[in-house]
Amino acid sequence: MRMKIVFLTVFLLGIQSSANAAEPKLRWLGHAAFIFSSRTGNIFLIDPWITNPKAPKNISFTHVEGILVTHGHSDHVGEAFELSKKFNAPLVASHELTEIAKWHPAYRRCHDYRCDGGSLVEL
């Protein structure tokens, strides 16, 4: 939960307002999955199990700027590795989870971001 708050705070504080900008939105995608859309149109996924039974059918994204996984349970990791690879989006997760991600066939990024003990991550 703390990582979710830190992640959202970083993006909410970093958003610059503009006359034509849309309001930021946090949308529930079922279970623990959320999509955060910033004023500037950036998309961030939180615990992206987007195939969960409560998720909207046929949900798709045109771009994703970052993915946060709060912990390593499968119902929170969901499709994080696949989405990270597809959109070349950084994965923000615990050290252990980013190490596991390196061995996942769908995840072959050279850079990852770890949240150790309250670290701030800028994307």
Domains (range + CATH), the chain: 2-14+26-114 (3.60.15.10)
- Selection from 122, 119, 121, 114 nearest residue 96 by Cα: 114
Query: What residue type is 1 in one-letter code?
Result: M
Query: Which two structure tokens, joined as six digits, stand for 54?
Result: 């409560």
Mean pLDDT of 97-102: 79
Does pTM top 0.85 for this prediction? no
**pLDDT tens digits for 40-92?**
999 999 999 999 999 999 999 999 999 999 998 999 999 998 898 899 898 88
